[in-house]
């Protein structure tokens, strides 16, 4: 059995961008996985393929789930990676969305499958979404850093060249595979407050969605996520204000953030500062959108 299982082959995709997000190490506060799920729902994305989990997952770490299909029949839901097509007629390109848990094994084989899929569908741009924990206050706008190893993307879209050195996840492996295959790629990372990491963060998910819009030239209606972000802010503020120690800690983070914003950046981000905001947000959906890569 081939790991890539087609349900149908999407034909006629226009200059598609392949957008990936994985639950796990690259997905602090579920920000990246929530962002790609929101984009897929907003654009009416349809599933066209899955990657079978048998070769790639440790089922003791990423466990399958049981469910009752008719109230009596028990079925097993395996943790497969799912692929969706999103056709956006008024945008300059269509999207391919890939979502699932970070695989446990055979990352090189997994990356080869993804790159081959991208080539079959004539993908023009590969983008990953990620989120990491950082010493940032929840009261500030979410910092999203756009990185790329492709000089043309760095120059055209105002991204930063990637200078990260250190441990990586499947996202880093996929970017290396894309670079080797000559496929332009970019990575978007949101910084989320480490003191509320256990709670899903719709504010960070919204920031990733907005940054993605400017990168691929596809806009979505974010009103639902905007409402969830406002509710999130209110709930976190109430929780912080109820604990003087936490409130004092947040105030120290705010002071540090203010000092940092007053200082001009002197170098590209290191591995310890990859999620800090080194640039302003890209133009939003109401601004002029870039064309296809």
pLDDT in tens, the chain (293 residues): 689 999 999 999 999 999 999 998 889 999 999 999 999 999 999 999 999 999 999 998 888 888 887 777 888 888 889 999 999 998 999 999 999 999 999 999 999 999 999 999 999 999 999 999 888 889 888 988 888 877 877 877 777 776 667 788 899 999 999 999 999 999 999 999 988 877 899 999 999 999 999 899 999 999 999 999 999 999 999 988 888 888 888 888 888 888 776 554 433 333 333 333 323 222 323 343 333 33
Q: What is the DSSP secondary structure assignment for residue 110, as one 8-state letter?
A: H
Count of beta carbons in the 10 Å neighbourhood of residue 96: 23
- Give pLDDT, residue 174: 95
Kindly report the pTM of this predicted structure. 0.83
Q: Which of 211, 212, 210, 206 is nearest to 224 (CA)?
A: 206
**Which CATH code, of 1.10.150.120, 2.40.10.340, 3.60.20.40, 3.40.50.10900, is assigned to 4-273?**
3.40.50.10900
- Give pLDDT, residue 264: 40
Helices (H), the chain: 31-42, 107-120, 151-157, 170-181, 202-216, 223-241, 244-262
DSSP H helix total and E strand total for the chain = 7, 11
Domain ranges of the chain: 4-273
CA distance 164 to 271: 5
- Burial bucket for residue 110 (CB in 10 Å: 0-12, 13-18, 19+): buried
CA distances from 254 to 174, 181, 199, 213 (A): 35, 43, 20, 28
- Give pLDDT, residue 75: 86
Q: What are 216-240's pLDDT values in tens digits?
A: 999 999 999 999 999 999 999 998 8
Mean of pLDDT over the chain: 84
Q: Which of 134, 137, 150, 284 is nearest to 210 (CA)?
A: 284
């Amino acid at each position: 059995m081939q790991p890539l299982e087609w349900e149908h082959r999407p034909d006629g995709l226009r200059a598609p961008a392949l957008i990936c997000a994985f639950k796990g190490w690259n997905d602090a506060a579920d920000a990246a996985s929530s962002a790609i799920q929101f984009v897929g729902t907003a654009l009416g994305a349809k599933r066209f393929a899955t990657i079978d989990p048998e070769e790639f997952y440790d089922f003791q770490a990423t466990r399958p789930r049981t469910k009752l299909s008719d109230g009596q029949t028990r079925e097993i839901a395996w943790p497969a990676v799912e692929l969706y097509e999103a056709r956006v007629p008024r945008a300059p390109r269509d999207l391919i969305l890939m979502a699932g848990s970070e695989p446990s094994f055979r990352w090189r084989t997994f990356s080869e499958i993804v790159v081959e899929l991208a080539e079959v569908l004539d993908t023009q741009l590969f983008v990953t979404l990620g989120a990491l924990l950082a010493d940032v206050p929840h009261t500030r706008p979410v910092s999203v850093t756009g990185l790329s190893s492709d000089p043309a993307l760095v120059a055209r879209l105002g991204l930063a060249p990637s200078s990260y050195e250190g441990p990586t996840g499947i996202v880093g492996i996929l970017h290396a595979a894309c670079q080797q295959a000559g496929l332009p790629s970019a990575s978007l990372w949101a910084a989320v407050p480490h003191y509320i990491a256990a709670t899903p963060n719709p504010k960070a998910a919204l920031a990733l969605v907005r940054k993605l819009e400017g990168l691929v030239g596809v806009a979505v209606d974010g009103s639902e996520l905007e409402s969830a972000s406002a509710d999130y802010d209110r709930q976190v503020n109430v929780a912080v204000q109820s604990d003087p120690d936490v409130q004092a800690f947040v105030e120290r983070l705010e002071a540090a953030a203010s000092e940092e914003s007053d200082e001009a950046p002197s170098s590209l981000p290191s591995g310890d500062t990859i999620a800090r905001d080194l640039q302003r947000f890209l133009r939003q959906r109401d601004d002029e959108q870039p064309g296809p890569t």
